[in-house]
Amino acid sequence: MNNNQPIGIFDSGIGGLTVANAIKKALPNESIIYFGDTKHLPYGEKSSRAINEYSKKICDFLIKKNCKMIVIACNTASSVAYQNIKESCPDTTIVNVIDPVVRYLSKETNSKKVGIIGTKGTINSGVYSKKIKEKNPNTEVSTLATPLLAPMIEEGFINDTISQTVINNYLENPALKGIEKIILACTHYPLIENIVKKFYNNKVEVIDSASQVANYVLHSLETGNLKSDQQPEYRFYVSDYTDSFEQSAKFFFNENIHLEEVTL
Ligand code: DGL
């Protein structure tokens, strides 16, 4: 393994660029190859069989591109495909977006009630709850599927009356009553982090997986002595190119980027 090999990152679409951006900030010398499976999004509504199939092909592509590590920057794929990906790519370090959040929570011994919002796929898999309960048996975990949020954010409804109404409606759900922390278990949600914080008047800790994953990747590369010291290169691939994806991508990555279409 060579330190200057790129980090592969994938998501169902462009939402995972929030994770790519957090990794770029934490590790400015790392080259990144990003793959957004825009042809098959949203994963949140797909069967686990389909998500496993897509994820396998994407990982094969990223391995062919010589990635030293693959980050599954999608909560839905992390929930339903992580184990299979790990088994089918034994020579590559695979990072999902759930374990870094669970690890962070387990350092906090005082969480009584934690809320989780995400796609139907993520919430129905029950993976977050199971992993949190394994490490923190005394923590009450309450989950809520919020399927309107990802398409809403992708369409640019982020800070207006529509987004405010949808977000308030979800967060007022009785399932989330009395929570002390809320996990934004979808890669699109860092874009609405401030609105969620405002809803709770900053009295509930809002945990976004993107920054937790970036901290974890930093720690993992440092421990393995695998940090790059070169000038980084970034490539962004999608399975279906549209101008609209390229337009939206800049909000998720925080700068203009060019998307290249590739057929797997
Ligand atoms: N990126 C997905 C996630 O983090 C959300 C979008 C989708 O449903 O594909 O779960």
246 occurs within a structural domain:
yes
Whether 31 lines ligand 1, by a CB cut-off of 6 Å, is no
Whether 42 lines ligand 1, by a CB cut-off of 6 Å, is yes
Same domain, 143 and 128: yes
Same domain, 230 and 185: no
CA angle centred on 116, ends 111 and 121, rounded to 5°: 145
The residue type found at 227 is K
Rounded Cα–Cα distance for residues 197 and 240 (Å): 34
pLDDT tens-place string over residues 158-202: 889 999 999 999 999 999 999 999 999 999 999 999 999 999 999
Same domain, 129 and 224: no
Number of domain units in the chain: 2
Q: Is the pTM here over 0.85, yes or no?
A: yes
Contact 187, 11 (CB under 8 A): yes
Whether 212 lines ligand 1, by a CB cut-off of 6 Å, is no
Q: How confident is the model at residue 109 (pLDDT cuts 50, 70, 90)?
A: low
Please determine, for residue 2, whether its predicted confidence score (pLDDT) is greater than 90.
Answer: no
19 occurs within a structural domain:
yes
Same domain, 126 and 200: yes
**Using CA of residue 197, residue 203, residue 204, residue 208, what is the dihedral sign?**
positive
Higher pLDDT, 259 or 248: 259
Q: How confident is the model at residue 111 (pLDDT cuts 50, 70, 90)?
A: confident
Distance of CA 41 to the CA centre of its chain: 14
**Residue 251: CATH number of its domain:** 3.40.50.1860
2 occurs within a structural domain:
no
Domain that holds residue 236: 7-96+211-261
Same domain, 75 and 171: no
Same domain, 167 and 238: no
144 occurs within a structural domain:
yes
250 occurs within a structural domain:
yes
234 occurs within a structural domain:
yes
Catalytic residues: 74, 186
Same domain, 185 and 58: no
Tell me the CA–centroid distance for residue 1 and ligand 1, in Å. 31
| For ligand 1, atom 1: residue with the closest CA | 74
Whether 187 lines ligand 1, by a CB cut-off of 6 Å, is yes
pLDDT tens-place string over residues 35-84: 999 999 999 889 999 999 999 999 999 999 999 999 999 999 999 999 99
Same domain, 126 and 75: no
Choose one of 9, 119, 144, 154 to mutate for the ligand 1 pocket test, by most ligand atoms within 8 angstroms of C-beta.
Answer: 119
Query: Quick one: which atom of ligand 1 is closest to the CA of 187?
Result: 4
Whether 150 lines ligand 1, by a CB cut-off of 6 Å, is yes
Rounded Cα–Cα distance for residues 20 and 58 (Å): 16
Task: Name the nearest CA neighbour of 167 among 187, 134, 142, 194.
Answer: 194
| For ligand 1, atom 7: residue with the closest CA | 42
The residue type found at 16 is G
1 occurs within a structural domain:
no
Same domain, 130 and 32: no
**Phi and psi dihedrals of 183, rounded to 5?**
-95, 125
| For ligand 1, atom 2: residue with the closest CA | 74
Tell me the CA–centroid distance for residue 231 and ligand 1, in Å. 30
